[in-house]
Structures are given as C-alpha cells and as structure tokens.
Amino acid sequence: MTPEDLLRAMFEEAVRAASAKERLVAALPPPPRGRTVVVGAGKAAAAMARAVEDAWGGPLEGLVVTRYGHGVPTQRIEVVEAAHPTPDEAGQRAAVRILELARGLGADDLLLCLISGGGSALLAMPADGLSLADKQAVTKALLRSGATISEINCVRKHLSAIKGGRLAAAAAPAPVVALLISDVPGDDPSVIASGPTVPDPSSFADARAVLEKYRIEPPEPVRAHLAAALDESPKPGDPRFAASRVVMVATPQDALEAAAALARDAGYRPLILGNALEGEARDVALVHAGMARQTVRHGQPAEPPCVLLSGGETTVSIRGTGRGGRNGEFALALAVALAGEPRAWAIACDTDGIDGVEDNAGAIVRPDTLARAAAAGLDAKAMLANNDAYGFFANLGDLVVTGPTRTNVNDFRAILISG
C-alpha cells in the first residue's frame, strides 16, 4: 500500500468508526409506555434516523432536518433538507415543527433527539423579534471572522427560540434522550448543535462579548435583543431537565483511534496529538509541520515509520477571494511549511465529506506537491494568502472527494513519516 493509499484508507476508517450505523443502535433507550417521537438536526440526522428505524421495534414518528444532499430514505421519520452553514427558510420551518412536536408530549412519552454537527444552522428558529435575515447576517459575519465553534454557537443560542436547552425544556415533563455525534473540541453537549437538549451555561453577556471580540456590528434587532437579555436560556439546575439525559454516540477520539489501529496494522507507529485542536488553520499547520520535521530529524515525538494524527476544528479568517475550507487551507499551509520534505505525506479532511461549502472533503499533500505546483505555474504562497486552497489542489488533482458521509466528528488530519 502506498503512503497516499494508506492515508485515504485511514480517513475512510475514521469515518466508518463514527457512522450512525456502527455506533447508534447500542445506545437506544427502551420504549416508553406512550409515544416515541424522534426529532433531530445535523449532517448525520438522516442516517441516525434510518438507524433508529431499523432497530426500533415499537411505534415511531418524528422529523429530522439535515443538510441538502445528506438525506437518506426513511419510512416513519420524516427527513427535511435545509441549508448549511447559513440557515434558510426550510430549516426554519423544520425547527418550528420540531418544537411543536416536543410541546405535544406527556410524562409517559419519549422524545428521542438525534443531534450531530451542523445542527446549529439547520435548526433555525429565531427568537421573538428577530428575523431569519438577521440570523443569516450574523452567521455569515461569524463564519468569516475566525471565531471558534464554541463562540459561534454561544451567539446562536442567544438568538434562538429552540437551541440552548429550549427544545428539551419545551418537552417537559416528557423524558428526553439525546443521542449525540460530537463535532466540537472537548465534546461539550452544550456546544454540539448549540445544545438544544441540555442546560446552557453561557449568557447574553457572553454572546455580546463574542461580537465585540471580532468587531462584528450586528443588525439593529440583534443588537437590541442581546442588550435587553430578556429571555435567558435555561441554566444548569433547571428542573425541566430532570428527565433528560445525553448519550455520546461517536466522538473525534473514536475516529482517531480507529485510524491509529489501521496505521499500526500497516506497520506505522501512530501518535494521536489531540482530538480537540483549535486555531487558525494555517497556524495549526505550522505547528504540525514543525513536529513532522522534528520526527524526521530526531525521531521525536514518534520514531519513524509513524503517523501523526489530530482532530478538532480549525478556523479560517477569510481575507482573500479564493475557494476552500479549513482543511484545504491547513493542507496548503502544511505543504508550504514542509517545503518538499521527501519523507512526509499528509491528508486533511472534514469527516462530513464537505470542506466548508465546497464539493471536496479535503486534500492530500505529497513530497512533490510544491514541485508539481511550480511546474504548473501555481504560486503556493500567493494562493494561500488568497484563501484559494481549493484552486491549488484542484489544479494538481489532489482534492479528496467523497461526497456526503452522513456523519461528522470534525477534522481529520494525518501526517505519515516514512522510515
């Protein structure tokens, strides 16, 4: 197996380890005396709904919302597709219906919530006094700012009528079981999809601080809503969560460990650097490149042949006019920093199969990446400055294209060092 083939196989194994079909069935609760209503949001929501249908023996009904192109056929649970990462009217209509389903339950019923990454944008129900256009404007500004996912979701929770614990609170006194696929550093349930089923420790003041930090001037209704702080999200200790529980179905660590096992079987020492790395994609790439060079020259922090693995969610402060997501940006910055290191290959991909808003999951870096780019007339540093990683790797034929994977445990990065 070539180094590139191994890297691609490791990514595929990471995705498989995080799939709903692999992980969800064992986490299902027993049926209740009354109705079982399934709701959910996220890039994995449709696949999770299908897994529930296949395993559930009793009556079942419900609605989940997923990203366009991420749906799968279901029989009893309706699947709606909507926009991501900027919300649209389809997501808003789905959120309204999901909240109404929760409100119609009693103590003998069960609300089974299927939550995964992307749910924040897909579960779009603006708070009273706000419009969808207001939320779209703030979302776009935050995505361009370089804010972390926890910062972005803090703001989203305080502009929402359903996130930040409000979905579970609406279902009380019905028991709520939330099955989560984590796409956030640290696997914090209150951050995943902006925590619709768990108490929210953040505040309106925290949301205002995020906008101030990134110098974002929101629409006037948003500014007024955050300043008034009239409808704070439910907090830890709220009795409406007494019958609620969370089950973590799949995490970034699960994906990294599966990839590590495959690398070990192929004769490479795996080293997981961390599953919750954050920061600007190009800065994280510089650190990874430094560790790769240290490995090549000194056998530290791992002795070759080895694979350095990491996960988490980087960010990109968009300053240029090019195309590409955070994994492509990481890969291009890594290629520049490695400067043609002959013993290093790498892959950087989003486990949902979509890097940002493009059609690729990520990209491959090879020892000859910069040399081939120069021969093709591509200026790697200039294209990085223009945030055009997609154009760079597309010209080289080194994009990784998988289509939607229907799961999401965030970024997957691997640097393979030959012996």
Helix (H) or strand (E) holding 264: helix 252-265
Q: Does 227 share its domain with 257?
A: no
Tell me the H-state helices in 299-417.
Answer: 326-338, 369-375, 380-385, 389-396
**Are 221 and 260 in the same domain?**
no
Question: Alpha-carbon distance 313 to 333, whole Å?
Answer: 16
- Domain holding 303, by residue range, is 3-12+253-417
Residues 257, 241 share a domain: no
Q: Are residues 219 and 275 in the same domain?
A: no
The residue from 223, 250, 277 where one domain ends is: 250
Whole-prediction pTM: 0.93
7 and 104 in a single domain? The answer is no
* One domain, residues 139 and 111: yes
pLDDT number for residue 57:
86
- The domain total for the chain is 2
Both 183 and 306 in one domain: the answer is no
Q: Domain end: 215, 250, 285, which one?
A: 250
Residue 244 belongs to domain with CATH number: 3.40.50.10180
Tell me the C-alpha distance between 335 and 31, whole Å.
52
CATH of the domain at 278: 3.40.1480.10
Regarding whether 371 and 239 lie in a shared domain, the answer is no
Last residue of a domain, one of 229, 250, 271: 250
Note down pLDDT in tens along the chain; length 419 residues. 899 999 999 999 999 999 988 789 999 999 999 999 999 999 999 999 999 999 998 999 999 999 999 999 999 999 999 999 999 999 999 999 999 999 999 999 999 999 999 999 999 999 999 999 999 999 999 999 989 999 999 999 999 999 999 999 999 999 999 999 999 989 999 999 999 999 999 999 999 999 999 999 999 999 999 999 999 999 999 999 999 999 999 999 999 999 999 999 999 999 999 999 999 999 999 999 999 999 999 999 999 999 999 999 999 999 999 999 999 999 999 999 999 999 999 999 999 999 988 999 999 999 999 999 999 999 999 999 999 999 999 999 999 999 999 999 999 999 999 99
Going across the sheet that includes 411-417, the strands are 269-280, 306-315, 411-417, 344-350, 362-365, 399-400
The distance from CA 72 to its chain's CA centroid, rounded to whole angstroms, is: 19
Query: Does residue 45 sit in the same domain as residue 150?
Result: yes
Same structural domain for residues 277 and 405?
yes
Pairwise CA distance, residues 213 & 173, whole Å:
39
- The reply to whether 212 and 354 lie within a common domain is no
Tell me how crowded residue 165 is: count the other CB atoms within 10 A of its CB.
26
Lookup: tokens for 182: 């984590």
Q: Are residues 157 and 107 in the same domain?
A: yes
